[in-house]
Amino acid sequence: MSSPTPLYSGITGASQATEINPYSRLKIAIVGRVKTGKSWLAVTCPGQKYVFDFDNRKESIAGKPDTVVKTYQDTIQSKPAALAEIEKDLKMFEYLKSKGEVIPDVFILDSATWLVKAIENDLMKSVSRLSRDVKTSAMTITIPAGWDIVTGVRNICENIISRLSVLGHTIVTFHEEPEKDKTKSTPDEPVYTGFYAVHPFYLRTLLSTFNETWRIEIKNKEYFVTVKPTNEFGASTTLHLDATEKADIGLMIRKHISNVAAGK
């Protein structure tokens, strides 16, 4: 048997890997098609939960226990307010934690796809060169323009997620889309790889920051979660689980604990 890895003199904040509990700080990305139960799965996580609802669909988790939900969405694109409200509430949770006050155990961002819309609206309002107007006979719509807005959106998402993960367990839901084959696709005829990615596609780099990347699906009218890689999706987990599990985070954690105790 090898001896324990030493903790080195002058190095602070380090931990023995053997002492790290993978569910002491959950950081979960839940990916799936529309209406496959992403929001429902997120709120099965044990503990007091706070849901940042960007999809304006809080009714989807109506009646769920130990859950508080608030909708953050711009009703008028030219007057964005959602991102400022997110920042205000995030700062309040950070302040409460610093004072030792009660805060939620679990923070849920639902969904990243619509969080992106709120960030885009704020960036386009703040920096005019990041947008262009498309006019119809009835209205004018502002749309993103240039790669800078993609970088800005991604960096703000990373900032929000990293700050929440300091506060507690963090769960983010992502809509999925088929991955295009860049070498075979043409502007008129897209070709797909058979693999699924998050939407928008440029958020895929965020997945590397999560310990758990799961895909939820409906099979035979039941909800299942894939937690290990397949030919369709690069799922991953640090928990001791089977490749596919029933969609309940509490049950999945209990199964992990049981498997570890049994040496599996």
User: For position 181, which CATH number holds?
Assistant: 3.40.50
Say how far apart CA 220 and CA 223 lie, in whole Å: 8
Joined tokens for residue 139: 């209205």
**How confident is the prediction for the chain on average, in pLDDT?**
90
186-221 tens-digit pLDDT: 888 888 888 999 998 889 999 999 999 999 999 888
User: What was the pLDDT predicted at 1?
Assistant: 46
pLDDT band at 6 (very low <50, low <70, confident <90, very high): low
For the chain, what is the domain count?
1
Q: In angstroms, how far is the first alpha carbon of the chain from the final one?
A: 19
106-159 tens-digit pLDDT: 999 998 999 999 999 999 888 888 878 888 777 787 878 888 989 999 999 999
Instruction: Confirm whether 15 is domain-assigned.
Output: no
Instruction: Confirm whether 93 is domain-assigned.
Output: yes
Looking at the predicted structure, is the pLDDT value of residue 2 above 60?
no
Looking at the predicted structure, is the pLDDT value of residue 23 above 80?
no
Q: What residue numbers bound the domain in which 30 lies?
A: 22-261
Instruction: Confirm whether 229 is domain-assigned.
Output: yes
What is the mean pLDDT of the segment spanning 229-253? 94
